[in-house]
Structure 1
């Protein structure tokens, strides 16, 4: 019999050796509360540790079953607590910023004690890192990959912008917290790091198509304008359709301006040789 079928109709008895014996007679009322508590986890245990006998009964040791039930229930409870803390923490950081965010408020909104918080996260900053680190890692990979693609294939610039805006829009809260609400944390200077990454991407692009090192101050301003444009689109109260329209329009403007600027810089370089 399949374990899922068996769980609905088995009864339980305890022997002197502390064995649970599950068999086919109807479930007895006296053990129903305990059975109900472990019902969610029965299928897993049957798959892992049952011994099938000719009389179609399952024999499991009392200590093993109880230990496994406790472990699974504790893991589920821990994951649920962490999920609540991450959600409420994100909301608190977004509303108040990291410096003014209050752990007690986060715990109260999550329905957990401050003591329970420290079983999941070592500190308020550890909670912030758990919220932002996955976003930072993914965005770095995405942006660096698209920058390399655009450097080799300039015609992909428009589609790249759309991908970036879709990603940032999907992680709007993380983006705002990181770039505008992280003062007082280990991320308070991340804006400068993001600007530096953007500047390096622009520098490589202009050096390749200009044939010479571009002016550092010009690159700094251009990168700052692009980064500010992203933040405007993410921060603004736009629908996704509006964001994509604006991103495409800005991209077309930027492409035309880039080509004209490169031509202008080449002429300036030739004139000063």
Structure 2
């Protein structure tokens, strides 16, 4: 096996990140990446297999870690008893959303790639996976508290999916808008309050919403 030159791997990743951010996955050129990194396309294939393998080497760790973090947050909450879930749901959600935001900002370029440059790769479904986890555990929470909205058929899984998709798209707008971290923190806290108020009407459909003219 030929000895790999020290520093080439890192140079390829750095140049590839720049190329993918500028052009997106589909239009990015391995030839340009190789030229900028001072190596050959053959060297890229040797190290990463193919173009998608190179993209995965950049975004895969961040995507995987955030997904695992989110899944653990959900599992830990689901393992709490019913009374604690009822009492702590809003606070728990808010605190851990900030933890996720911190992680996103620690890997900001990787999430820019995942959100806007991943078309043509398996990572184009990154947000969908987070939504699926949230929908699954939202239903579990509703079952724990005996939510009448679900029992009556008023609230369906399709509706929860729509609401959750809207929330996650809103959450990741901080990346798309290149918000400063301090501004993003304020935005996420406000978005979470808005989201939780909306879910209050889902969990308690009999509770009248201030300013509304009609119920469900």
Mark yes or no: TM-score above 0.5: yes
> Which 4+ runs in 1 deviate beyond 6 A?
none
Partners of 2:141 and 2:116 in 1: CA distance? 28
Which residue in 2 is equivalent to 1:14? none
Partners of 2:34 and 2:40 in 1: CA distance? 6
Which residue in 2 is equivalent to 1:88? 15
Which residue in 1 is equivalent to 2:42? 115
The answer to whether the 8 Å contact 1:121/1:127 transfers is: yes
Structure with more contact order per residue of length (Cα contacts < 8 Å, sep ≥ 6) = 2
The offset of 1:98, in angstroms, is: 0.7
The answer to whether the 8 Å contact 1:168/1:175 transfers is: yes
Which residue in 1 is equivalent to 2:94? 158
Which residue in 1 is equivalent to 2:120? 184
Q: Which runs of 5+ in 1 are unaligned?
A: 1-70, 268-273
Partners of 1:93 and 1:262 in 2: CA distance? 42
Q: Which runs of 5+ in 2 are unaligned?
A: 81-87, 209-216
Partners of 2:115 and 2:180 in 1: CA distance? 21
Coordinate RMSD, CA, aligned: 2.4
The answer to whether the 8 Å contact 2:201/2:207 transfers is: no
- The 5 A counterparts of 1:119-130 are 119-130=46-57
Which residue in 1 is equivalent to 2:177? 236
Partners of 2:20 and 2:206 in 1: CA distance? 44
- The 5 A counterparts of 1:6-45 are none
Do the aligned partners of residues 216 and 241 (structure 1) sit closer, same or farther apart at CA in structure 2, a change above 3 Å counting? same
- The 5 A counterparts of 1:132-147 are 132-147=59-74
The offset of 1:266, in angstroms, is: 8.6
SS at match of 2:100: helix
Which structure has the larger Rg over C-alpha atoms? 1
The offset of 1:144, in angstroms, is: 0.7
Q: Does 1:168 align with 2:83?
A: no
When normalised by structure 1's length, the TM-score is: 0.63
Do the aligned partners of residues 225 and 209 (structure 1) sit closer, same or farther apart at CA in structure 2, a change above 3 Å counting? farther
The offset of 1:265, in angstroms, is: 6.3
